[in-house]
Amino acid sequence: MMVPTLGNALVALVRRDIRLVVRHRSEIANPVLFFIIVVALFPFGVGSDPTQLALIGSGIVWVAALLATLLALEGLFRSDFEDGTLEQMVLGLHPLSALVLSKVFVHWCATGLPLLIAAPLLGILLNMSLAGQLTLLAALALGTPTLSLIGAVGMALTVGVKRGGLLLTLLVLPLYVPVLIFGASVVLAAEAGLPTAGHFYALGAMAVLALSLAPLATSAALRISLN
């Protein structure tokens, strides 16, 4: 029997994951709705002063995006673990890191990309300037893939643990903090008219580091979890 090439295997895996996303639209919509609801409720808790909302708006959006990403991580490997697909991926002939990267990409398209679409509208709600909204969008475009890649490592370590949500949170939250700090501070710098290049360099460096190391770490964690 002819073994499919890596490219064919990646295309087949992406198509399969997209079909699963379409079939389980409600599970994908939950993190996005959570993100919107959390940001929309903040003005009721901290007050509706436009100046105050503009100052804390970036932090609100980033904390909500972080929590929404964390909420969506359960859907990354759990169903594949339960139906045996994950074991077949680990035992297959193709590099597991490449397969993991394709799954994370589809997962980000289904969860992180809607956050990017909703963020400018929520920025208007929080009275952010146009420069702040554009900077927020660019920062989320760099930061949310990093969050997904880091989260994949934590999810791989806890995929075999029943009710491992708390353990997953404890594992990944400390690693999320640098992304949160630079993601929120770059918007504040843009709002104040200060240079933002340094913050973007830091976010880009974290994204490249996560893209380089997270698939390998996730692959090793999956093998450990399945043994």
Does pLDDT of 111 surpass 90?
no
Looking at the 3D structure of the chain, how many domains does it have? Answer: 1
Q: Is residue 215 part of a domain?
A: yes
Can you tell me the mean pLDDT for 44-50? 78
Cα separation, 155 vs 177, in Å, equals 17
Residue 176 has pLDDT above 90, yes or no: yes
131-141 residue pLDDT tens: 888 999 999 99
Tell me what pLDDT residue 2 has.
Answer: 53
Q: What is the DSSP string of 33-48?
A: HHHHHHHHHHHHHH--
pLDDT, one tens digit per residue, over 48-76 is 777 888 888 888 899 999 999 888 888 78
For all residues of the chain together, what is the average pLDDT?
Answer: 86
In a domain, 22, yes or no: yes
Q: Rounded to an integer, what distance in angstroms lies between the CA atom of residue 151 and that of residue 76?
A: 9
Burial of 5 (0-12, 13-18, 19+ CB in 10 A): exposed
Query: Which whole-number Å values give the CA distances from 114 to 57, 62, 69, 107, 180, in the listed order?
Result: 18, 14, 11, 11, 18
- Is the confidence at residue 193, as pLDDT, over 80? yes
Is the pLDDT assigned to residue 103 strictly greater than 70? yes
Residue 138: inside a domain? yes
- What phi and psi, each to the nearest 5 degrees, are found at residue 48? -105, 20
**pLDDT for the residue 125:** 85
Q: Are 104 and 148 in contact (CB under 8 A)?
A: yes
User: Distance (Å, rounded) from C-alpha 24 to C-alpha 165?
Assistant: 20
Question: Which structural domain range is residue 23 located in?
Answer: 6-226
Residue with tokens 């995929």: 159
Q: Supply the pLDDT for residue 206.
A: 95
What pLDDT, on a 0 to 100 scale, did the predictor assign at position 1? 45
Residue 29 inside a domain? The answer is yes
In a domain, residue 1? The reply is no
Sign of the CA dihedral with 106 first, then 169, 159, and 152 last: positive
149 burial type by CB count under 10 A (0-12 exposed, 13-18 middle, 19+ buried):
buried
Query: Positive or negative CA dihedral for 202, 76, 122, 58?
Result: negative
